[in-house]
Amino acid sequence: MKRRNFIKNAALTGAGVAVGSTLLSCADNDTKETKIVATTNNKSQVSLPLVIATWHVEEATAKAWKVLQAGGNALDAVEQGCMVEEANEKGQSVGKGGLPDREGNVTLDACIMDKHGNCGSVVYLQNVTHAVSVARKVMEDTPHVMLAGKGAEQFAYEQGFKKENLLTEASKKAWEAWKIKSEYKPIINIENHDTIGMLAIDKNGDISGACTTSGLAYKMAGRVGDSPIIGSGLFVDNEIGACVATGLGEEVVKTVGSFLVVELMRQGKSPQEACEEAISRIVNKPNSNYKDFQVGYIAVNKQGETGSYSIHQWFSMTKYQDGVNEQIQSDFFNKS
Ligand code: SD4
Phi and psi angles of residue 283, each rounded to the nearest 5 degrees, phi first:
-75, -25
Ligand 1 centre from 71 Cα, in Å? 31
Q: Which domain covers residue 294, as residue numbers?
A: 19-332
Q: Model confidence over 277-329: pLDDT tens digits?
A: 999 999 999 999 999 999 999 999 999 999 999 999 999 999 999 999 999 99
Asked whether residue 44 is domain-assigned, the answer is yes
Closest CA to 238 of 199, 286, 272, 293: 199
CATH value at residue 65: 3.60.20.30
Query: Is 318 one of the annotated active-site residues of the chain?
Result: no
Asked whether residue 159 is domain-assigned, the answer is yes
Has residue 92 got a pLDDT over 80? no
Query: For 169-196, what is the mean pLDDT?
Result: 74
Asked whether residue 110 is domain-assigned, the answer is yes
Closest CA to 156 of 209, 119, 99, 110: 110
Asked whether residue 1 is domain-assigned, the answer is no
Closest CA to 240 of 117, 136, 63: 117
Q: What percentage of the chain has pLDDT greater than the value 90? A: 70
285 in Cβ contact with 292 (< 8 Å) = no
Residue 132 falls in which region: left (phi positive, over 0), alpha (psi -120 to 50) or beta: alpha
Asked whether residue 23 is domain-assigned, the answer is yes
What's the domain count of the chain? 1
Spatial distance between the Cα atoms of 246 and 109, rounded to a whole number of angstroms? 12
**Catalytically annotated residue among 34, 61, 195, 255:** 195
Q: Model confidence over 215-247: pLDDT tens digits?
A: 988 899 999 999 999 999 999 999 999 999 999
Say which range, 9-13, 78-82, 288-292, has the weakest mean pLDDT: 9-13
pLDDT band, very low/low/confident/very high, at 159 (cuts 50, 70, 90): very high
Asked whether residue 13 is domain-assigned, the answer is no
296 in Cβ contact with 246 (< 8 Å) = yes
Asked whether residue 9 is domain-assigned, the answer is no
Under 8 Å CB-to-CB from 238, ≥6 apart: which residues? 115, 116, 117, 206, 207, 302
Ligand 1 centre from 288 Cα, in Å? 19
Residues with C-beta less than 6 Å from any ligand 1 atom: 93, 192-195, 213, 215-216, 225-227, 246-249
Has residue 145 got a pLDDT over 80? yes
Residue of 193, 224, 316 to test ligand 1 pocket, by largest number of atoms within 8 Å of CB = 193
Ligand 1 centre from 278 Cα, in Å? 17
Asked whether residue 8 is domain-assigned, the answer is no
